[in-house]
A and B are shown apart, each in its own frame.
Chain A
Amino acid sequence: MSLLEVEGLCVDFGRRRVPAVRGVSFSLSEGERLGIIGESGSGKTVTALAVMGLLPETARVRGSIRWRGGELLGRAEKELATLRGNAVGMVFQEPMTALDPTMKVGRQVAEVMLLHRETAGAAARPQVIAMLGDVGLTDPERIADAYPHQLSGGQRQRVIIAMALVNGPDLVICDEPTTALDVTVQATVLELLDRVLTAERAACLFISHDLAVVSQVCSQVLVMLDGEVVEAGPTSKLFTSPTHPYTRGLVATARLDLVNPGERLPTVEDYYALGAGQ
């Protein structure tokens, strides 16, 4: 049985029913990693938030989202809250804003743990310190007692990853986890994600606009454009023989090593006229 099955997911917003996601389907089995790739506004994040049940109230969601065979759509908020942070963890895009500036980071990690386990507050600390160490933070004792503004972007993103993983989730949703980081930090955070996901044997839904980043973490990829899936398949196949012109454009822009020196760099528009439809 699949861990997560999404079928015909449609989301629209507001009174004018602006569609954000149109008929997205995919499934994810235990330990599998699926990348969702697409540009801003293609519906990647909305899809992720729909799975978490965290869309604003103005959103209308149709279709089906099943967790271990059980339908999530229409489930009571209380039942969803027991899944969130426990069976499903989420890593956010902006390390600068995804941590509460008024709370020490150690406590923020502990909160996630205490919400789902019957551990006394004091007993949580050693586990929090261990978790912070696991995500590669040196001197986790000091970091636990620091406020977010005292940490660097990379450190904060590691803390956010620790928050998502502290309860040993079966699925981790990563929403552009490295976009806000510079390239060198990006590489180490990706390695870290790869390592902890393997260690926890957690499945992963990895959202990014960067094909190169996705290919580092995921074996399967979904390409989204204007709220629809235009192409899906194994990462290697997508790289070697993309079928949709938009995907061809993405691959070309990700493979700059194939460009001869002096030539103009390719853009997606060379392959696919954005906004013009097919």
Chain B
Amino acid sequence: MKRFGLVTGICLVGLVILGAAVSLVWTPFDPIRVVPGQRLQPPGWPHLLGTDGFGIDTFSRLLVGARMCLVVGIISVSLAAVVGVPLGMLAGQAGGWVSEAVMRLADVVYAFPALLLAILLAAGFGASTVTAMVAIGVATMPAFARVARAGTLQVMASEFVVAARSSGTSPWGVAGRHVLPNIAPLIGVQASVGFAMAILAEAALSYLGLGTPRPTPTWGTMLRDAQQFLFVDPLQALWPGLAIALAVLGFNLLGDGLRDYLDPRLREVS
């Protein structure tokens, strides 16, 4: 099948979204309430995937974790895109020293370790979902700026931009009406790949205790909790690990599939 990757990606991402949506209205058990009598139950009934060291239903926590992972992904990717894309477009359209300044700034941000930024933010404001999202967003800004700049340069070199300018369109008009719609597919692909990175980064940050604090379940904190029971009940680490892996795989496949699907050379054919 030609679009196997894209379809798989859509299915996996759909599964994450479905889980998150279901968790809004219903979870099999309370994902927060500690039940000491039910500790470390094996998978079965009524606990589908068993319970963790606090006696909380793992499946319920996974569902709520999907919600957190989507929230973090959406907000950090939006933050990165809203700041990165206009800067990249500015660099691509203005050229000269403006372009140099913006791209060197992007290099500096790119070179700054995201983990260090997360630690700094957590130290300054206390570890929370917000500091994790800001750290991830800032760290992925340069990627968006670069993609936007590369796309802008390509669009600016095309004849329809000269044509638009020759009919009196201002540089702002060119940016809004011609450049942005033409680079939108590129940005979409970058957003999808960025989403995968954000999920992974968020899991890593909450694993390290730099993200969402307890008791809110995230896949990263679930991994951390499972670590102390790794030899007693290894399945507890498997479930969140599997969820992270599949979600990241899903968004990456979606991004790659979109890139192929939206390729302008193939667009002409359809």
The answer, yes or no, to whether A157 is at the interface (CB within 8 Å) is: no
Tell me which residues across on chain B come within 8 A of A90, comparing CB atoms: 163, 166-167
Measured CB to CB, the closest approach of chain A to B9, in angstroms, equals 24
Give A178 to B267 CA distance when docked, in angstroms.
26
The answer, yes or no, to whether A103 is at the interface (CB within 8 Å) is: yes
Using an 8 Å CB-CB cutoff, how does the interface string of A55-80 with B read, 1 for contact, 0 for none?
00100000000000000000000000
Tell me which residues across on chain B come within 8 A of A103, comparing CB atoms: 177-178, 181
**One of A57, A89, A101 near B167 (C-beta < 8 A):** A89
Measured CB to CB, the closest approach of chain A to B159, in angstroms, equals 4
**Is B169 in contact with A115, judged by CB distance below 8 angstroms?**
yes
Give A100 to B167 CA distance when docked, in angstroms.
13
Give A82 to B169 CA distance when docked, in angstroms.
9
**One of B95, B166, B170, B182 near A54 (C-beta < 8 A):** B166
The answer, yes or no, to whether B261 is at the interface (CB within 8 Å) is: no
Interface residue tally of chain B, by bracket?
Answer: 20 to 34
**One of B158, B163, B177, B181 near A160 (C-beta < 8 A):** B163
Measured CB to CB, the closest approach of chain B to A57, in angstroms, equals 7
**One of B96, B159, B166, B267 near A84 (C-beta < 8 A):** B166
Tell me which residues across on chain A come within 8 A of B164, comparing CB atoms: 100, 111
**One of A86, A93, A102, A160 near B168 (C-beta < 8 A):** A86
**Is A111 in contact with B169, judged by CB distance below 8 angstroms?**
yes
Tell me which residues across on chain B come within 8 A of A93, comparing CB atoms: 159
Give A115 to B177 CA distance when docked, in angstroms.
13
**Is A92 in contact with B162, judged by CB distance below 8 angstroms?**
yes
Using an 8 Å CB-CB cutoff, how does the interface string of A99-113 with B read, 1 for contact, 0 for none?
111110000000110
Measured CB to CB, the closest approach of chain B to A14, in angstroms, equals 14
Tell me which residues across on chain A come within 8 A of B173, comparing CB atoms: 115
Q: Can you name the residue of chain B whose Cβ is closest to the Cβ of A96?
A: B159
Chain A contributes a number of interface residues (CB within 8 A of B) equal to 30
The answer, yes or no, to whether B29 is at the interface (CB within 8 Å) is: no
Tell me which residues across on chain A come within 8 A of B163, comparing CB atoms: 90, 92, 98-99, 160, 163
Using an 8 Å CB-CB cutoff, how does the interface string of A142-157 with B read, 1 for contact, 0 for none?
0000000100000000
Instruction: Known contacts A52-B166, A81-B170, A84-B168; decide if A97 and B267 are in contact (CB<8 Å).
Output: no
Instruction: Known contacts A100-B178, A111-B177; decide if A92 and B167 are in contact (CB<8 Å).
Output: no
**Is B168 in contact with A115, judged by CB distance below 8 angstroms?**
yes
Tell me which residues across on chain B come within 8 A of A116, comparing CB atoms: 168
**One of A49, A98, A102 near B182 (C-beta < 8 A):** A102
Tell me which residues across on chain A come within 8 A of B95, comparing CB atoms: 57
**Is A115 in contact with B160, judged by CB distance below 8 angstroms?**
no
The answer, yes or no, to whether A94 is at the interface (CB within 8 Å) is: yes
**One of B168, B181, B264, B268 near A83 (C-beta < 8 A):** B168
B binding-site residues for A, Cβ under 8 Å: 95-96, 158-160, 162-170, 173, 177-178, 181-182, 184, 264, 267-268
What are 7 A-B contacts defined by CB distance under 8 Å? A52-B166, A57-B96, A83-B168, A92-B166, A102-B178, A102-B184, A163-B163
